[in-house]
Amino acid sequence: MTSKREWQEYFELINERQPSEAETTAALERGEFQAEERHQEPQSPDRQNQSASADDVTYSRRQARQPETEPASENQAQPGFDSKQNDQVEPGQGQSTGHNAAAANASVEEFKKHAGNFFAWYKERVLHPTQYLEDEKPNKPFLFTSLALTLILSAASFWNIFRRFFTAGESAVKSTFGSYGTSQVQRVADKVLPSVFWNFLVIFAILFLAALAGLAIMTRNKVSFKDLFFKYLTWFPAASLFALAAFLYSFVASVPVSQLQSNPGAAGSSLGTSLFILTLLPLLGVGVTSLAAYYFIGKYQAQNEKFDYLWLQMFQIVVTAFVNYLGYVLIVSPMLKDFFSNLTSLFN
């Protein structure tokens, strides 16, 4: 059985804070560790006085046996020491170098500690997201890191497939147009790739966070929006797995640029399959957040006698779809128009 100290160390590793009394009591009731019983015999006053007297006698004897030493002279010559060499060394130079090295090592160790804490925290939330929804003090930096990882990896998967497309295009035009064709492809890639990343980053931010609007309406009298937001972010470690899978797939997905002229049908089919899988994987991550929305509605609206659970879920779906539509009309559509307009101008 795990001891209380071991449980506390594991809790601090995962959450980077000490557990509260309520959390410790709850863990003890769940049987996560065994209560420690300590038995200590009380000492009588006479025994305490005897112990103190014995310590005083021992200390006096040690002081009597300690030889008196005279402080060494500051100007005392030392073998092998060159005073001229000492004059040539800049004061504090060695100490400054050592201090910088120590500071660098401390920074590295601190980074390793936080990285280890994050991955331990991340693993637990991936495997059991619903078990950590009631954390009294959620690890907000780690939650925002999970959100950022999900969005960045989702956008980077499309950025990477476009990057590979341009790289293959450079090889294809090099044999026909030489260095001039290669430079033109590179010029277009330098303009297009940053826009691809940021455009998809905005698109996935809308998709992953759209469910919050309906949840805020459905739970407005049950939980504060701040608490709801961090509970919602608890699901993002699981969602980030699909974003990571999409990013890894973008390195091995088929990009048959060289076959576009010789066999355009097969090349188009292969490229379409790659883009379909690349789109599906992040959308599965969006599905995780949809399941989170259904979970919260079931939790906070379980006692709702006015509306059936079916219509509450339908309301959540409609609101989420409406938010996505507004995001497309107001943000994504103008953004894509500018993107294709700039892309067209590159070829004029």
More confident residue, 33 or 118: 118
Pick from 19-28, 66-75, 210-219, 251-260: least confident: 66-75
Q: Are 297 and 312 in contact (CB under 8 A)?
A: yes
Q: How many CB atoms lie within 10 A of CB 263?
A: 13
Q: If you count DSSP H runs as helices and E runs as strands, how many of each does the chain have, helices first?
A: 13, 0
DSSP string, 163-201: HHHHHHHHHHHHHHHHHHHHHHHHHHHHHHHHHHHHHHH
CA-based max dimension of the chain: 102
Give tens-digit pLDDT for 194-205.
999 999 999 999
Regarding pTM above 0.85, the answer is no
Across 11-33, average pLDDT: 80
73 vs 70: CA distance, rounded Å: 9
Whole-number average pLDDT of the chain: 80
Phi, psi for residue 34 in degrees, rounded to 5: -100, 135
Tokens 């006096």 locate to 60
**pLDDT tens, position by position, 135-188:** 888 899 999 999 999 999 999 999 999 999 888 888 777 777 777 778 888 888
What gap in Å lies between CA 77 and CA 74, rounded to an integer?
9
- Domain boundaries defined on the chain: 1-32, 140-346
